[in-house]
Structure 1
Amino acid sequence: MLSIVHTVSPSIITLLIFACYSEVHGTSIKSLDMPHIVRNGTGPVDLICIYEIDKDDNGLVIKWFHEAYQIYQWIPPMLPQDIGIIKDFAEYPAENLKNPYSHSIIRLKTITIDMTGEYMCTISTFQYEASASAKMIVYVPESDMTVRTYPFNKTHVNLTCAVTGAQPRPSLRLYVEGIERNESSESSIDWHKDDPRVSLDVIIEDMLDPTVIECEMLIPDTEYKRRERIVYYPSSNRSNATDNIAFETNNFFVI
């Protein structure tokens, strides 16, 4: 008796496996569209979860989470329910409610600092579940920023930059005539949620000529920054540090 052996190439096997996997896992999240950086107090802002539901799936449930805490649930045809940080801030566009099997839109009327963090959208049916996550940073501009100088001893002067109100916690840099100075530096933090304060002190040798001193503040993971400038005038009598300073500003920020 003759025997016939059929050989199937690895590429065909891989293709068949991929085809089966794609068909079985037809329910998936296509994208999670939301801003990465938002200024506190602005709005409205849309959080959009776009997904695809397999035609044979049923029992759809859409949930949103913020830092692992559930903030939203939608079981069509019932209306969405929101809790936690978005309670009383969320609304739902009519086009969203008309088509629950393609996307979920949370429209936040006003952004608050509590809304910063990681968001996750999950969709589940009786058959499958999928999820996607993205991070949104909510920042607060400073309420006050000052640069000052104080005598440290007979040969050195203390440069101080202090920022109040900025969130998340900003980083500070001090420059003397455009050159960053960080020798003998010390940072201090008085971090209260309602009125946070960060300062940077640098001790340098006293200057003989009028000198431009700048402080740069940057809020991490954002493009927001600001600079404050003073002109320091040395004096043989430094009992009052403010007598030796001419204040200027060179403030700018990118949003």
Structure 2
Amino acid sequence: MWSLADVMGRPSAAVFLLYAALTLIAGGGLGVVGIQLVNEDMEVVTVENGTAEAVVLDCPYEMEEGDKLEDIDIKWYFEEAVAPFYQWIPSDPHPPQTIEKFREQVDTSYRVEVEGDGAAHIHRAIRLLNPTTELTGDYFCRISSFLNHKLGKRKLVVYTKPEVMVWTDKVEVEGEGGQKENGVEVKCEVEGMYPQPALSISHILSEGGERHELTKVDVTTTAGEGLYSAHAEGRVSDAALDGTTVFWCNVTVSDTDLNFSNNTKYQPSTEIIVGAVQSGADAVNFLMAPLLALTLLVLRCL
């Protein structure tokens, strides 16, 4: 079931040129269409570690005029491997074949039900059992016929939910004119994450307002025992904040919609002094009130 190219490794440039020439001869020229993938864009599948019984990566395709069932060959590759870990030939009565490394992970009995010419599609997809973080990566499906071949990419992300902590410390920051002024340092800590996370810090200036990301954020990431930890911190001047501010620590994963976050509220020091300066009659009343109270207390004691 394995081709010579699979055993020997990546084919040479000469082999590719020969293959292209044979394809043109068989198809009668550059007008050959052949097999087409239904979706050539990269598809991303996400699943939390240890929560799913299985996950399916599919590679839908359509046969064109001139394609024959006996010429169809389907292979799946993992990451940058030159040899496939899964192969199925629709015209062969034998079940799909897998290499030993994936033998316990791939359900070779899984079937895809397709109306019409279903014989060419039964085992085109792979069903990965009990997916764990070790199965995270890029998967490539290669659908071949005598006329042409197509390569599709699927990305599987098996993730762990991180612990996200965020807090603030009052600090001195450098103002626009170089002077020292009151400010806040926002710190974000992420632990137990897989795969490697991306961190950002954002804030909301007013209730119901939009989030604005801090432009200067220092991020450090470390790995250990198959999980990632990360730390981010950024500074903002109190003068740039409009009252009570909510700071968010945002954790994302590249190529996915995964987003984990936590937030904390911060009160700028500019709002702590309230009503310290008054004028006119309000100022007189503000000063006279305690003096009048003291006078009444002395009169009662006489």
1:181-208, CA deviations, whole angstroms, 9 ceiling, x for partnerless residues?
A: 5255311112346221122211223579
Determine if the alignment matches structure 1 residue 218 to structure 2 residue 245.
no
2:85 alignment counterpart:
71
2:46 alignment counterpart:
38
Determine if the alignment matches structure 1 residue 158 to structure 2 residue 185.
yes
Aligned-residue offset at 1:78: 2.4
1:122 alignment counterpart:
142
Aligned-residue offset at 1:89: 1.6
Determine if the alignment matches structure 1 residue 198 to structure 2 residue 226.
no
Assess if the C-alpha contact under 8 Å between 1:157 and 1:204 holds in 2: yes
Match of 2:168 among 139, 145, 149: 149
Instruction: Give the number of the structure whose alpha-carbon radius of gyration is greater.
Output: 2
Gaps of 5+ in 2: 1-24, 173-180, 270-302
Q: Counterparts in 2 of 1:50-89, with a 5 A limit?
A: 50=61, 52=63, 54-55=67-68, 57=70, 61-69=73-81, 70-75=84-89, 76-83=92-99, 86-89=102-105
Q: Distance in 2 between the 1:144 and 1:233 partners?
A: 25
Aligned residues: 216
1:228 alignment counterpart:
262
Assess if the C-alpha contact under 8 Å between 1:176 and 1:213 holds in 2: yes
Q: 1:118 to 1:29 in 2, by over 3 A?
A: farther
Secondary structure class of the residue paired with 1:191: strand
1:76-117, CA deviations, whole angstroms, 9 ceiling, x for partnerless residues?
A: 2223222376431211346469x6534423111233333333
Aligned-residue offset at 1:220: 2.7
Q: Distance in 2 between the 1:217 and 1:193 partners?
A: 20
Q: Counterparts in 2 of 1:168-179, with a 5 A limit?
A: 168-177=196-205
Letter in 2 for 1:188: T
Assess if the C-alpha contact under 8 Å between 1:173 and 1:217 holds in 2: no
Q: CA RMSD in A?
A: 3.9
Q: Distance in 2 between the 1:117 and 1:188 partners?
A: 23
Secondary structure class of the residue paired with 2:134: helix
Q: 1:231 to 1:85 in 2, by over 3 A?
A: farther
Assess if the C-alpha contact under 8 Å between 1:185 and 1:200 holds in 2: yes
Determine if the alignment matches structure 1 residue 131 to structure 2 residue 150.
yes
* 78-87 or 101-110, larger mean C-alpha shift: 78-87
1:153-181, CA deviations, whole angstroms, 9 ceiling, x for partnerless residues?
A: 48333110122214242232231535535
1:9 alignment counterpart:
none
Aligned-residue offset at 1:230: 1.4
Gaps of 5+ in 1: 1-16, 236-255
Secondary structure class of the residue paired with 1:54: coil
Letter in 1 for 2:45: I
Q: 1:68 to 1:129 in 2, by over 3 A?
A: farther
Q: Distance in 2 between the 1:22 and 1:56 partners?
A: 22
Q: 1:128 to 1:232 in 2, by over 3 A?
A: same
Assess if the C-alpha contact under 8 Å between 1:122 and 1:129 holds in 2: no
1:111 alignment counterpart:
131
Could you tell me the percent identity over the aligned residues? 22
Q: Distance in 2 between the 1:122 and 1:183 partners?
A: 42
Letter in 2 for 1:117: G
Letter in 2 for 1:187: V
1:30-74, CA deviations, whole angstroms, 9 ceiling, x for partnerless residues?
A: 44699523123334222233454833855x543211123221123
